[in-house]
Amino acid sequence: MDLLMECASVFKNLMNYQYRFTLGRKGKLKVITLGFSETDFHHLVGLHKLRDTEVARANRGAVFRAILSGRITYATIIKSTFIEEILSRLQTFPNLEFLLDHDQLVFRYNKKVYPYSSIESEFLLKMGDGSILDITFLFLDKTEQGIYYCRSFFPMERTDYTKEQMQYTLLKKEKIDIRSGVAAVQYDRLTPKNK
């Protein structure tokens, strides 16, 4: 399968789900719900960085649909002189659902720690174990409706963006199928275990 279409197919599947993270810090609980929208895909895979292509400037939803239909392919974007800037994202992106379904560390992201970065975000997930799957960062921000969305995604290269960030304890994680409303518990330290 075309690499770009593979990335879009993974994201299209994720659009059927939400993740609910129950976090704890200093005796207080914080619940964040992560959702997925077709317009988020463009930035997550780095298409905005391909400044010498029409794909970078085109309507984000239309680009996503064109990728799924095969009208925009990896062969289309590889012509960009900036393709090297996003190649590691594209290669890692097909693992996004796997990474979300497994262990991650959750941090409140303070941009002031990294003033040279343009990333605006409220939360940061550090995913992967560094051996089988590269350490990968997923930055989350909140919509006006209170649902969080993926603002940025990329594998760790030189900078560990979790340094000097405030870490939360993950207490519970659920993957909710939007179509059925069924929530699958993936991690739970809140519910008492039966003796």
* Region 122-135 average pLDDT: 84
Structurally, the chain folds into a number of domains equal to 1
Nearest Cα neighbor of 82 from 117, 37, 49 is 49
Q: With a cut of 70, say whether residue 146 has pLDDT above it.
A: yes
Q: With a cut of 70, say whether residue 70 has pLDDT above it.
A: yes
pLDDT attached to residue 179: 96
**Does some domain include residue 192?**
no
**Does some domain include residue 39?**
yes
> pTM of the prediction?
0.92
**Does some domain include residue 194?**
no
**Does some domain include residue 195?**
no
Confidence of residue 191 (pLDDT cuts 50, 70, 90): confident
pLDDT attached to residue 116: 82
pLDDT attached to residue 15: 98
Dihedral (Cα; 149, 180, 68, 89), 10-degree rounding: 40
Instruction: Tell me the C-alpha to C-alpha distance, in Å, between residue 118 and each of 111, 113, 151, 174.
Output: 8, 12, 11, 30
Range of the domain at 37: 3-186
**Does some domain include residue 92?**
yes
pLDDT attached to residue 195: 54
pLDDT attached to residue 114: 84
**Does some domain include residue 191?**
no
**Does some domain include residue 193?**
no
Query: H/E/C letters for each residue in the chain?
Result: CCHHHHHHHHHHHHCCEEEEEEEEECCEEEEEEECCCHHHHHHHCCHHHCCCCHHHCCCHHHHHHHHHHCCCCHHHHCCCCCHHHCHHHHHHHHHHHHHHHCCEEEEECCHHHCCCCCCCCCEEEEECCCCCCCCEEEEEEECCCCCEEEEEEEECCCCCCCCCCEEEEEEEEEEEECCCCCEEEEEECCCCCCC
**Does some domain include residue 80?**
yes
Q: With a cut of 90, say whether residue 193 has pLDDT above it.
A: no
* Spatial separation of the C-alpha atoms in residues 61 and 168, rounded to whole Å: 33
